[in-house]
Amino acid sequence: MALPAGEVVVEAREKTEAWQRFAERFREVEENVEKVVQGKHREIRLALVTLVAEGHSLIEDVPGVGKTMLAKAIARSIDCSFRRIQFTPDLLPTDITGVNVFNQERGDFEFKPGAIFANIVLGDEINRASPKTQSALLECMEERQVTIDTETYQLGQPFMVIATQNPIEHEGTYPLPEAQLDRFMMRIAIGYPSAEVEAEILATHGVRSTLPDIGPVTDALGVREMIDMARQVHVSPPVRRYIVDIVE
């Protein structure tokens, strides 16, 4: 049954206003992150698109281009928790997911959450960990949950992994398997800034980091609302077919 014309107009207006709020909130977060990561508008936008699309990002670049700062600035801008995992050959899967520890006072096991229990997780130099440790991320990234000894623990929302790896250094590294690469929606290369931006960075970052100067412009609830709206975007069959053709 078709809606009356008046109700259709009201519904259309409400949707338009909702998408305007979406755009404003996205732009506010984008501009806030740009105060810290300068001259990288495209890369920041790609990372934020990944967040709203419930994906994960793999940043492949050399040290010193702002990979860690990007992750921290996003977490700070959306007022969400941030954890950094330094991937090394001796890192264990339980360091990421958590482990059940026996509590002598209670006479029972209790779960100690690992570093993955945060909204924004930076996996630094992910290819330096063993394949077994890398595989600990598979369930977390795909299903947004952790299973320990038959118990399943849900991760918070929003949740995004930003992993980094150095494309130049190969000694002491383990190539990411296809199953792991498939979990990443975006592969981003930040690159060095232009000479003009570098001069500006020298002027603003010479004494201390500018990260503490930025505050949140939204929160986890605001991001979840954006995610819900992104899920409602209609994609027509010809566009879906075009996407499949590109992938093939």
Q: What is the CATH number of the domain that holds 64?
A: 3.40.50.300
Whether the pLDDT of residue 172 is over 80: the answer is: no
pTM: 0.86
Write down the pLDDT at residue 9: 66
The DSSP result for 91-119, as a single string, is --HHHHHEEEEEETTTTEEEEEE-TT-SS
Residue 1 in domain: no
Whether the pLDDT of residue 168 is over 90: the answer is: no
Write down the pLDDT at residue 179: 87
Write down the pLDDT at residue 4: 63
- Tell which residue, 118, 45, 80, has the closest CA to residue 220: 80
pLDDT in tens, 42-87: 999 999 999 999 999 999 888 778 888 999 999 999 999 999 999 9
Residue 211 in domain: yes
Cα–Cα distance measured from residue 148 to residue 118, given in angstroms and rounded to the nearest whole number:
17
pLDDT in tens, 102-134: 888 888 888 999 999 999 999 999 999 998 999
Mean pLDDT computed over 2-27: 79
Are residues 82 and 75 in contact, defined by beta-carbon separation less than 8 angstroms? yes
Residue 106 in domain: yes
Residue 4 in domain: no
Phi-psi region of 125 (alpha: psi -120 to 50; beta: other; left: phi over 0): left
> Could you tell me the two tokens for 54?
């419930």
Write down the pLDDT at residue 223: 96
Write down the pLDDT at residue 71: 92
Write down the pLDDT at residue 5: 58
Mean pLDDT computed over 86-94: 93
Write down the pLDDT at residue 209: 74
Residue 2 in domain: no
Give the total number of structural domains in the chain: 1
Percent of the chain with pLDDT over 90: 58
Which range marks the domain in which residue 116 is found?
A: 10-247
Does residue 8 or residue 214 have the better pLDDT?
214
